[in-house]
Amino acid sequence: MKWCFLVGLVIVSQSINYVKAQTVAAQSSKQFSRADSLRGSITPERAWWDLQHYTINIKPDISNKTIAGNVAIRFKAIKLGKTMQIDLQQPLIMDSVLLKQTNGKSINIPFKRDGNTAFVQLPLTMPIGKMANIIVFYHGTPREAKRAPWDGGISWKKDSTGAPYIATSCQGLGASFWWPCKDHQYDEPDAGVNINITVPDTLTAVSNGRLIKTLANKDHTKTFSWQVKNPINNYGVSMNIGKYILIKDSYKGEGGLLDLSYYVLPSNKEAAIKQFTQVKTMLACFEFWMGKYPFYEDGYKLVDVPYLGMEHQSNVAYGNKYLNGYLGRDQSKTGWGLLWDFIIVHESGHEWFGNNITSKDIADMWIHEGFTTYTETLFTQWQSGNNAGNEYSLGIRKNIRNNAPIIGAYNVQNEGSGDMYPKGAAMIHNIRMAMNSDTLFRAMLRGMNKTFYHQTITTKDVELFMSKYAGFSLTKIFDQYLRTTQVPTLEYYFAADGKSLHFRWMEAVEGFDMPLMVNLGTSMQRIQPKYKEWSNIPLTSLPVTDAQIKALVPYFYIQLMERKEMSIKVN
């Protein structure tokens, strides 16, 4: 799709009272603790070993809101090392750590707690390339969710019949609040995870991947064994417990036949059958734009939870009350967001950006949220047409607060501003408009998901990759929108004889150079405004007026200021 409009200028404000720039330096001035560094950095005790696989065995005590279990961690030495950092958040108690030996026996090994971290001491330095297994036993009272999923933990709830209805949520909080792990986004288990959950035999436990076995125990409990074959980030692992029923379906997509499984409460069966028909439309749209669903081996699931929702890999948490929109509201206030279920679309979009492509550091979480918020625009366009997609994009943009930079402080488990959702999406829309080729834009999204398939990456990785497809450098664009709160201003004026349009960037980072597509009446032309320096283009065909510019549908997240030629001074 070509964008045949003039500069597509978002007139955010006619005022010259610009928002002051805030930079990552401001974030860095915050005081961070040793615990923040232990959690958020790739410490020497993390760096020497590479995750291969987790086996999680857990048994919740529902009446007492406690848990007990063990986690087997298979790892490989990629550097010489002896001390391992394992994370387990207080007040959970680490009971013991066993090291599996080559003869099949296990020995106890010492560990020392340091707040939410434990340093496990192996008996000998491991040589590079060596594989080993430890098992961490633990128990205790995990954090209870206060406002899931934003202030997460375990939600110990009951359904309308009084039956237990339990779910985990831990993005930001970290998976180590409920199981011991290497709790940093940079390292995912290459061979996946097995999750074994033991619950009363009147209930069903649902987790990621595929159900490979259900074992009936003598104490009137059942153990549900789930297997994830793909790499998975710690925060994407989930535990859901309830009186679930299963609705099955399938989708024929780019990777073959994809199993669709919906675990819902019995009272929601009819609503789920109706509402979840949107899943196939969503998958068709997202596979078109971003490539094949990344987890065919593990299937796709929606599971009822007692909170709004979360992007748990291959096991999307659903709590949108079977309503279109966001709990029946349109986040864009355009009406288009009421034509589809926000949780189905947004949280499933994370299967590509967040679960397939994961940021190494939580400071770069905009990679998850900016792209996924933009999938809402792509879906609106897919369902209702180009104009609907553009209007939705602009509507979402009005939620930007510019209260802090999108990128947080690195190595201290620090997220940036919540603007990572609407402003991250706005930046992506800017780039799409400046590219002026949906063929290239689609190839870029698909290329990202192929090139970075099941990988953890950085903002710089994204910038360099997108620049190749865009055909122009994104360095200053990323600096502007991700690292400051300024909204760049395009100043412009028409020559007195009406034969030229003059323009420059102001209120932007030094060297800001985002290109814009201009419709001169008979053809599209890319212009490259410079920072503080006036440039111009001749208007040799149909006249272009200020009124025309201001009347055009806004596509770029910028401010617009008309200057009079007589007031222009040479800098």
Question: Do 362 and 470 have their domain in common?
Answer: yes
Mean pLDDT of 204-232: 98
Question: Do 543 and 560 have their domain in common?
Answer: yes
Is 494 a member of any domain?
Answer: yes
Question: Do 462 and 508 have their domain in common?
Answer: no
Q: Taking Cα atoms as reference points, which of 176, 169, 181, 178 lies closest to residue 53?
A: 181
Of the candidates 483, 507, 540, which is a domain's last residue?
483
Q: What is the CATH number of the domain that holds 376?
A: 1.10.390.10
Q: Taking Cα atoms as reference points, which of 89, 87, 51, 52 lies closest to residue 67?
A: 89
Question: Do 371 and 412 have their domain in common?
Answer: yes
Please tell me which residue, 14 or 120, carries the higher pLDDT value.
120
- What is residue 527's predicted lDDT score, i.e. its pLDDT? 87
Q: Model confidence at 539, in pLDDT bands (50, 70, 90)? A: confident
pLDDT for residue 67 is more than 50: yes
- What is residue 498's predicted lDDT score, i.e. its pLDDT? 81
Is 48 a member of any domain?
Answer: no
Question: Do 506 and 478 have their domain in common?
Answer: no
- What is residue 319's predicted lDDT score, i.e. its pLDDT? 98
How does DSSP classify residue 277?
Answer: T
Residue type at position 164: P
Question: Do 556 and 503 have their domain in common?
Answer: yes
Mean pLDDT of 546-571: 67
- What is residue 542's predicted lDDT score, i.e. its pLDDT? 65
Is 5 a member of any domain?
Answer: no
Is 167 a member of any domain?
Answer: no
Mean pLDDT of 534-545: 78
Is 181 a member of any domain?
Answer: no
- What is residue 146's predicted lDDT score, i.e. its pLDDT? 96
Q: Model confidence at 567, in pLDDT bands (50, 70, 90)? A: low
**DSSP string of 510-541, one letter each residue:** TT----EEEE-SSSEEEE---BSS-EEEE--S
Question: Do 478 and 525 have their domain in common?
Answer: no
Question: Do 368 and 455 have their domain in common?
Answer: yes
How far is Cα 3 from Cα 437, in angstroms, rounded to an integer?
8
Q: Model confidence at 12, in pLDDT bands (50, 70, 90)? A: very low
Q: Model confidence at 497, in pLDDT bands (50, 70, 90)? A: confident
Of the candidates 434, 455, 483, which is a domain's last residue?
483
**DSSP string of 63-83, one letter each residue:** TTTEEEEEEEEEEEESS-EEE
* E strand residue ranges, 311-437: 316-318, 357-359
Lowest average pLDDT, out of 4-18, 142-156, 368-382, 487-501, goes to 4-18
Q: Is the pTM of this model over 0.75?
A: yes
Is 535 a member of any domain?
Answer: yes
Q: How many CB atoms lie within 10 A of CB 497?
A: 8
- What is residue 24's predicted lDDT score, i.e. its pLDDT? 42
- 492 and 534 in contact (C-beta within 8 Å)? no
Mean pLDDT of 89-108: 94
Query: By residue range, what is the domain housing residue 373?
Result: 348-483
pLDDT for residue 14 is more than 50: no
- What is residue 103's predicted lDDT score, i.e. its pLDDT? 83
How far is Cα 124 from Cα 147, in angstroms, rounded to an integer?
44
Question: Do 510 and 532 have their domain in common?
Answer: yes
Instruction: Specify the number of domains making up the chain.
Output: 2
- What is residue 455's predicted lDDT score, i.e. its pLDDT? 98
Is 252 a member of any domain?
Answer: no
Tell me what percent of the residues of the chain surpass a pLDDT of 70: 91
Question: Do 478 and 511 have their domain in common?
Answer: no
Question: Do 403 and 515 have their domain in common?
Answer: no
Question: Do 399 and 502 have their domain in common?
Answer: no
Is 475 a member of any domain?
Answer: yes
What confidence tens digit (pLDDT) does each residue in 253-288 have? Answer: 999 999 999 999 999 999 999 999 999 999 999 999
Of the candidates 450, 483, 516, which is a domain's last residue?
483
- 516 and 7 in contact (C-beta within 8 Å)? yes
Please tell me which residue, 295 or 571, carries the higher pLDDT value.
295
How far is Cα 112 from Cα 413, in angstroms, rounded to an integer?
22
